Amino acid sequence: MQILREHLFKYPTYILGAVISAVASIGTMLYQPKLLQDILNAILKNNMDAIKTLSVWLIFLAVIGVISGIYNVYFAAKIAQNVTSDLRLRTYQKIQSFSFGNIEHFSSGSLVVRLINDMNQITNLLMSVFMQFLRMPLMFIGAFIMGVYTLPRLWWLEILMIILVILVSIFTFQKMGRLFGQVQIFMDKINTRAKETLQGMRVVKSFNQEANNSANFNQTSDELNKINLWIGYIFSASFPAFMLATYAAIALAIYLVGGSITSHPSDVAAISSYVTYLSLVMNAIIVIGMTATMVSRGLVSLERIKEVLDTKPDLTYVTDQDEDLKGSVEFKHVSFTYPDSKQETLHDISFKVAPGQKIGIVGKTGSGKSTLAQLIARLYDPSSGEIDLGGKNIKEVSQKTVTKTVSFVLQRAILFSGTINENLRQGKKTASQAEIEKAAQIAQAEEFISKYPDTFEHEVEERSANFSGGQKQRLSLARGVVGNPVVLILDDSTSALDAKSEKLVQEGLAKHLKGTTTFIIAEKLVSVKDADQILVLDDGHLSACGTHAELLKTSPVYQEIYQTQKAKERRSDLS
């Protein structure tokens, strides 16, 4: 709520407008029955002039009611529009300040859901608060007071009805709330089943399990149906119960008025307006009950947005000074544990790399290769120990300097919709066209780009659907090498390339990026065989470090990997 308040107060005029128009529109609704009563009295007294004045008032009031109703929506829409847009922007800006760790904590899927679905709920929340929720308590109190004022003798009748209606609605909405909770649980089960079946349709079919699967699904569906039936029963009983309470109150009121009509003759004119007030009171209670569920849904969404806004980016920068750093990298007793994990992923790692060296990183899945690479680009901070980039503690370098110095090519090649040029230029905004073309050459991407009539201006579609996996990887690689980065990290980023292209990429890198310190993470030893140093990771430990030849002699871990990739034949046997 705190968050909404901050944004709401930026639009005081609209809020004031919404409140005033709501009060005005409720006021007209409440005053109309009173005027009706006056008219009926005037008829009883045969007072034509009074009827004429009252009629003008009646119509004037109704016109005000229409206009204030329109204005109420106008202001509510203005508030909803601005506050949600502002809040969405603020949330997005917040997410953009997040580190890898923050993103992974939420998962990108969940962030997308929050920005889209939850923001939607908040729009609905604001609309219903300013249109319904604000009006209904006013309506309830106003109608109650007017009812008492109309027939003061029967004040207790109104209270009796209110207690009855509230009791029924508490029972109903509580029961409903619980049942809707259960519906959600079964809906989730149904969704999981449907989703798994859709994703595993080949498995279902190849094991001939359609019938069993349907039987399982039907069972869940029947259970959901049972709850839906209960909801139906309660709903079918509750609304007539509200009506019954109101009708009973109306009948009782007429009965009591009739019984004492001779002592209170003017009450006869009050019946009609009293009935209207009773209906308004009941309506208000029901609407409050119904909007309450929507409001509570909106509040849940608000809580989820708040969670994002309250998250502190877990990387901070002490300086924003722009520097030119050399490509040396040093790890000093670096250990690392992921924020949401108990187990250490990297343990006491130390090594030193000189500018321009080529470093291979190998190890089993889960041994910490990618994590180590991410620390070099300061995507995470080590839990203990220190990392030096270009001889400076990486924590004391500005964000701009780090992104400028280190270029990281991710395992999964992600492109954005736009042109090829726009995507490649993300690697270095100021890159010249010659630099872009050179990068494409190194990444073996120029060959297919040049086949398009519009070459580098060729469109990248959404989800880069118009490129194959290999092409995407080449473009992602090209983006990484634009403008000769000082340090280049390739995280298994040539996996979708065929052996020949991969070799050409390696050669291109060696030829054109001589001064660049290159880290290569690879499954295939062939890719790192000629590296200056190979880091062998085993379960988070740096188990060995050396050249291919050295490691083959000294490192059992390296030998094990080597054995699984070794050809049966000797090279000499083949030629």
Partner 1 sequence: MKKALQYFYKYLKPYWKGISLVIILTLAMTYFQVVAPVYMGNTVTDLTNILKGHGSMTTFYHDLWLMIVFYGLNVLTMGLSWTITSVFNAHANNNMRKNLFTKLQKMTIKYFDTHQDGKLLSLFTSDIDNIFNAMNNAVFEIIAQSALFIGTIVMMLLINVKLALITMASTPLVVIISIVIMKKASFYLDRQQEEIGALNGYINEQINGQKVIITNGLQKDSVQGFTVQNDKVRKTMFKGQFYSGLLYPLMTGLSLLNLAIVISAGALLIMTGSMSTAKGLGLLVMFVQYSQQYFQPLMQLTSIYSMMQLGLTGAKRLKEVEDQPEEDRVPNGQILTAVKKGVSLNDVHFSYNEKKEILHGVSLDVKAGKYVALVGPTGSGKTTVMNLLNRFYDVNQGSVTFDGIDVRQLTLTSLRQNVGIVLQDSVLFTGTIAENIKYGKPNATDEEMIDAAKQAQIHDFIMTLPDQYETLIGADNEIFSTGQKQLLSIARTILTNPAFLILDEATSNVDTVTEEKIQKAMDNVIMGRTSFVIAHRLKTILNADRIVVLKNGQVLEEGSHQALLAQKGFYYDLYTSQMAFE
Burial class (CB in 10 A: 0-12, 13-18, 19+), 485: buried
Which runs of E-coded beta strand occur in 197-272? none
Indicate whether 53 belongs to the interface with partner 1 (CB under 8 A): no
* Size of residue set near partner 1 by CB under 8 A: 166
- Binding partner 1 (rule: CB under 8 A), the pick from 32, 301, 371, 473 is 32
Could you give the residue ranges of the DSSP H alpha helices within 356-405?
A: 369-376, 399-405
Least distance in Å: CB of 314 to partner 1?
Answer: 12
Tokens 């609209």 belong to residue? 14
- Binding partner 1 (rule: CB under 8 A), the pick from 19, 20, 23, 62 is 62
Tokens 């980039």 belong to residue? 389
Q: Which is nearer to partner 1, 469 or 515 (CB)?
A: 469
Indicate whether 430 belongs to the interface with partner 1 (CB under 8 A): no
- Amino acid occupying residue 90: R
Indicate whether 530 belongs to the interface with partner 1 (CB under 8 A): no
* Three-state SS sequence of 170-203: HHHHHHHHHHHHHHHHHHHHHHHHHHHHHHCHHH
- Binding partner 1 (rule: CB under 8 A), the pick from 8, 15, 76, 475 is 76
Tokens 């107060």 belong to residue? 9
For partner 1, the binding residues in 310-349 under the rule CB under 8 A are none
Q: Is 292 helix (H, G, I), strand (E, B) or coil?
A: helix
For residue 539, is it left (φ>0), alpha (ψ between -120 and 50) or beta?
A: left
DSSP 517: E
Task: Residue 477: name the closest of 502, 457, 453 by CA.
Answer: 502
- Binding partner 1 (rule: CB under 8 A), the pick from 149, 180, 448, 562 is 562
Indicate whether 463 belongs to the interface with partner 1 (CB under 8 A): yes
Least distance in Å: CB of 468 to partner 1?
Answer: 7
DSSP 131: I
- Binding partner 1 (rule: CB under 8 A), the pick from 149, 171, 180, 235 is 235
Indicate whether 194 belongs to the interface with partner 1 (CB under 8 A): yes
Expressed in angstroms, the distance from the first to the final Cα of the chain is: 75
d(CA 73, CA 24): 13
For partner 1, the binding residues in 394-413 under the rule CB under 8 A are 399-400, 402-404, 407-408, 410
- Binding partner 1 (rule: CB under 8 A), the pick from 178, 239, 507, 556 is 239
| CA distances in angstroms from 547 to 531, 544, 563, listed in the order given | 7, 10, 17
- Binding partner 1 (rule: CB under 8 A), the pick from 1, 145, 170, 237 is 237
Least distance in Å: CB of 333 to partner 1?
Answer: 25
For partner 1, the binding residues in 80-119 under the rule CB under 8 A are 80-82, 84-85, 88-89, 92-93, 95-100, 103, 108, 111-112, 115-116
Largest Cα span, the chain? 124
Task: Residue 424: name the closest of 406, 439, 405 by CA.
Answer: 439
Indicate whether 208 belongs to the interface with partner 1 (CB under 8 A): yes
Least distance in Å: CB of 163 to partner 1?
Answer: 19
Indicate whether 184 belongs to the interface with partner 1 (CB under 8 A): no
- Binding partner 1 (rule: CB under 8 A), the pick from 163, 185, 201, 318 is 201
Q: Which is nearer to partner 1, 241 or 354 (CB)?
A: 241
Tell me which stretch binds partner 1 (CB under 8 A): 204-212, 286-294, 322-330, 382-390: 204-212
Least distance in Å: CB of 289 to partner 1?
Answer: 16
